[in-house]
Amino acid sequence: MNFWLMKSEPEVYSIDNLFKDKFTLWEGVRNYQARNFMMNSMAVGDLVLFYHSNANPSGIAGLAKVSRTKLIDQTQFNSKSEYFDPKAGVDHPRWFCVEVEYLLKLKSVITLDDLRAHTSLLKMGVLQKGQRLSVMPVALNEFEYIYKNWISPTKSRDNFDSLNI
């Protein structure tokens, strides 16, 4: 299993939206590196830190799980969509996405300051200066650390049993 961090602006689509929807297609990614992660590396069951960007505060707002992979992002073909890509065609799609499933919403957002206060997390992609990727991998040790410190209901568990994964 792999771990990911995926960014969304809560004004556009928040963890509350995902709670209501239960599932969502992660459409609109128009960055090749981010696309390649979704296309080549994500597997069903991978866990996702749902990150609110451009928010008050910005940070990790909840947890999701990859439920379908290697889907063609249909918005690239829709000339009415803000994600329309005139260089893509149904016979040669450029952009792919995954579907994610809601798992939980945190009682409070784990802010960037929260994360930076822990030396074990200093290497996290999302904390690096100038990083702009909207989909990025999270190391196992980083995910476990975050899980133990902020997500696990008992804070004493060291596995993911409570999530029924």
Three-state SS at 150: helix
State the minimum distance, in angstroms, from the CB of residue 160 to DNA.
25
Answer yes or no whether residue 33 interacts with DNA by CB under 7 A.
Answer: yes
Q: Is 10 in the site for DNA (CB under 7 A)?
A: no
Binding of DNA by 123 (CB under 7 A): no
The secondary structure element, H or E, covering residue 114 is helix 112-116
Q: Is 79 exposed, middle or buried (0-12, 13-18, 19+ CB in 10 A)?
A: exposed
Choices 18-26, 63-71, 122-130, 137-145 (CB under 7 A): range interacting with DNA: 122-130
Rounded Cα distance between 70 and 138, Å, is 20
- Nearest one of 148, 109, 111, 143 to 127, comparing CA atoms: 111
Span from 27-35, 42-50, 70-78, 157-165 in contact with DNA (CB under 7 A): 27-35
Indicate whether 92 belongs to the interface with DNA (CB under 7 A): no
75 is a site residue for DNA (CB under 7 A): no
Residue 104 CB partners (closer than 8 Å, separation 6+): 62, 63, 151, 163
Give the Cα separation of 75 and 96 in Å (integer).
10
- Contact between 58 and DNA (CB under 7 A)? yes
- Nearer to DNA by Cβ, of 25 and 112: the residue is 112
**Which residues sit at the interface with DNA, rule CB under 7 A?**
7, 9, 30-33, 53-55, 58, 112-113, 126, 129-134
